[in-house]
Structure 1
Amino acid sequence: MFQRRYSTLKLVIVLGISLVVLSKNVLAQSVPDYVTKQVPEAQVVGNAMFTYMFWDVYDATLYAPKGQWQSDAPFALKLDYQRSLDGKKIAQRSVDEMRKQGISDEAMLSEWRDKMAALFPDVEDGDVITGVATSDQASEFYINGELAGTIEDTNFTQSFFDIWLSEKTSEPKLRKALLQK
């Protein structure tokens, strides 16, 4: 009787360890190539669905070196869109969120909105926009895995990613899930 329980327990432990190793390997393999080029040893930090009212808008995934996010290190935020949205509205919503964070320089916000509007296309269900904060604090944007452009402005990079990652975010539950806090 004891031997059978011991064998069953051993099997459960081995299966549990195998599942943990397998899930880590799947997560490591799921990091897009264009992310690993800018984010060394990129791993998933966290993932969450952003829902507005009752509509799923996008699935957000945060990548950082060894899965440890730091605001001053390279990282990437991938948004897998679940619905169609106008690119200009995405840019405007980003500016509105930056304003909520405390950015009040309207000339700068207007310039940033124009830059984002030029980069962000209209998206359909299944499209992916990934923002990468590079090691020199520039922002690279990838549309469905292809580089769409770069904004080389450290203030923009900080303000843009603060939309999701700052303590002042308008979506604290999403932030918590992305940062695993």
Structure 2
Amino acid sequence: MNRRRLPLRHGLWLLVLLNCQALANWQDSLPGAQVIGSGDFRKYGFDVYSARLWSTSRPLAGDQPFALELIYQRSISCEDLVNASVREIKRLSGTSVSAEQLASWQTQMQQSFVDVQAGTRLTGVYLPGQGARFFLGQQLLREVKDLQFAQAFFAIWLDPRTSNPELRQQLLGMAP
């Protein structure tokens, strides 16, 4: 190998490694985060996913970042995940979100989610004042810099009007 190219090649590898490490996993966004609560989501008697809510503050404070980790128990298409999320956001938001905005958010979710199988781990990280990051395992899938979207998305689980108040209580560590 040409000796002049060797330092350049090492330098490029170093840049690649540093760039990959910048957001190597979702925990980098929440140093010192601990599980606040966890629970299981079932529909029609079938296990769908196990969920864990991570944060650096307990109880969860609205101005603090957090991560919602979902570990799927069955196969679900990206399309079905997006459609279920859109339905819940629409139900919770009512007329406060326009059809155009909801369509834009649907596109964001289509680009942020993947088909899942049993054992797939998806984690969404809420970043106050910024938006959300979505991870498959430890790999960053997408960052969405839209705070209103992030708030509406995580409300699916954390809003008091959620369709699953028992899971909300478990995630927030309020379940008996």
- Relative to the length of structure 1, the TM-score reads 0.78
Instruction: Give the counterpart of 2:76 among 77, 81, 85.
Output: 85
Instruction: Structure 2: state its 5+ residue gaps.
Output: 1-23
1:50 aligns with 2:41: yes
Decide whether the 8 Å contact of 1:35 with 1:42 is kept in 2.
no
- Matched residue SS, 1:101: helix
Higher relative contact order (CA 8 A, sep 6+): 2
Instruction: Give the counterpart of 1:144 among 137, 145, 152.
Output: 137
> In the alignment, residue 137 of structure 1 is paired with which amino acid?
Q
Instruction: Give the counterpart of 1:96 among 87, 107, 114.
Output: 87
> In the alignment, residue 90 of structure 1 is paired with which amino acid?
L
Instruction: Structure 1: state its 5+ residue gaps.
Output: 1-32
Percent identity over the alignment? 35
1:59 aligns with 2:73: no
In terms of Rg, which structure is larger?
1
RMSD: 1.4
Paired positions, count = 149
- Matched residue SS, 2:31: coil
What pairs up with 1:4-153 in 2 under 5 angstroms? Answer: 34-104=25-95, 105-153=98-146
What is the CA-CA distance between 1:150 and the residue it aligns to? 0.7
Deviation beyond 6 Å, 4+ runs, structure 1: none
In structure 2, what is the Cα distance between the partners aligned to 1:135 and 1:163? 17
| C-alpha distance after superposition, 1:78-135 (max 9, x if no partner) | 0000000000110111010011112431111111111101221110111011000124
- 2:18 alignment counterpart: none
Decide whether the 8 Å contact of 1:133 with 1:139 is kept in 2.
yes
- Matched residue SS, 1:102: helix
